Structure 1
């Protein structure tokens, strides 16, 4: 039977695609309203009926937990860092990586802060993601890693790759430098009212605090 309107129907979403779409629509509202956001607001933002949200998540708490899990998921950011071209100077590579990682931390902090300020989650994010603490990937010792540990390890791995082209000129192995750089990025997000820019942070990391410390 032909479509009387002449328009082609958009392909139906899978349940997972629909949940992802709802979460992405909800995230800006969660940052603005925290736990006070309503499913009606999310439905309007997503362009769907409110009932679709409850069919996808069951209740608002599960949706909020899914939003926190999505904000904490580093996959897209790590893919960006892993794709940074290695034929540009190391300083440029690290600045781009720092910008990507700091942006991820800022987004995650905005969602977590809004939820905490408005009462917090009554259900942990793992309830929405299906992965509990300790059920993640295996670490080097064979023990199961928590989601946070796995994320930290994955970040160190992609950062190590940025140092590889200069391995023979480095004072420490890429893995050690990646760990130090990672902690510097984390610490920079906890600064005062005037944090270092990514360029300043990378310059300090590569050349030190003293004038004349630039590499020759």
Structure 2
């Protein structure tokens, strides 16, 4: 019976470590080739992908049917909002409000910049999965609970503001070619255009 942890055609040698399970091998390849795909787009070669993963081309295509399947797997992972939600949920609610908003803005903006960079390379038909808004609202509600008395709007509105600002400032034809830093977006969310930062 074929060992399920061994890829088809890959013998198990007692002289080396046990091969990775198929899902683990796929995850390793995806992680290794993602920077290359973000640099070269669909023009990347099979040889480049294999070299980036540190394995033979044949090993790549025992884990994935073909180059297109591998590219689609990378895009599916990068377009998924679940890791972003997990990262946002890890922000310490006990931090000062300004630090929490800055951390959230930094994460959300980085995700949108990554997504739109991939869409520019692989075509606008590659759309990200939709993040459940109620999940995001609950994350922000927990994050901002200690500062509820300072807020002029509910946490879900703060989440929406950050999402919309990070979204619009990540698209060149919407931001007029002007790059906004996470700190600048944070200042807009917290202080608007006329408010003042609290004195330290």
* TM-score (norm. length: structure 1): 0.73
Aligned to 1:197: 181
Q: How far apart are 1:46 and its partner, in Å?
A: 0.7
1:34-87 Cα distance to aligned partner (Å, 9 max, x none): 111122211111111111222211111111111111111233332222111122
The number of residues matched between the two structures is 183
Please, what is the CA RMSD of the aligned residues?
Answer: 2.6
Extract unaligned runs of 5+ from structure 1.
Answer: 126-145
Q: Secondary structure at the match of 1:147?
A: coil
Distance 2:167 2:198 in 1: 25
Q: How far apart are 1:215 and its partner, in Å?
A: 6.1
1:207 and 1:165, CA in 2 relative to 1: closer, same or farther beyond 3 A?
same
Q: How far apart are 1:192 and its partner, in Å?
A: 3.0
- Out of 127, 139, 149, the residue aligned to residue 168 of structure 1 is 149
- Out of 173, 183, 200, the residue aligned to residue 164 of structure 2 is 183
Distance 2:83 2:18 in 1: 24
Q: How far apart are 1:153 and its partner, in Å?
A: 4.5
Following TM superposition, the consecutive aligned residue runs of length 4 or more in structure 1 with deviations greater than 3 angstroms are: 152-157, 212-216
* TM-score (norm. length: structure 2): 0.79
Please say if 1:60 is aligned against 2:42. no
> Does the 8 Å CA contact 2:79/2:129 hold for their aligned counterparts?
no
> Does the 8 Å CA contact 1:90/1:162 hold for their aligned counterparts?
no
1:195 and 1:156, CA in 2 relative to 1: closer, same or farther beyond 3 A?
farther
Q: How do residues 4-15 of structure 1 correspond to structure 2 at under 5 angstroms? A: 9-15=16-22
Q: How far apart are 1:31 and its partner, in Å?
A: 1.7
Q: Higher relative CO (CA 8 A, sep ≥ 6), structure 1 or 2?
A: 1
Please say if 1:38 is aligned against 2:52. no
Please say if 1:29 is aligned against 2:36. yes
Q: Secondary structure at the match of 2:130?
A: helix
Distance 1:75 1:148 in 2: 10
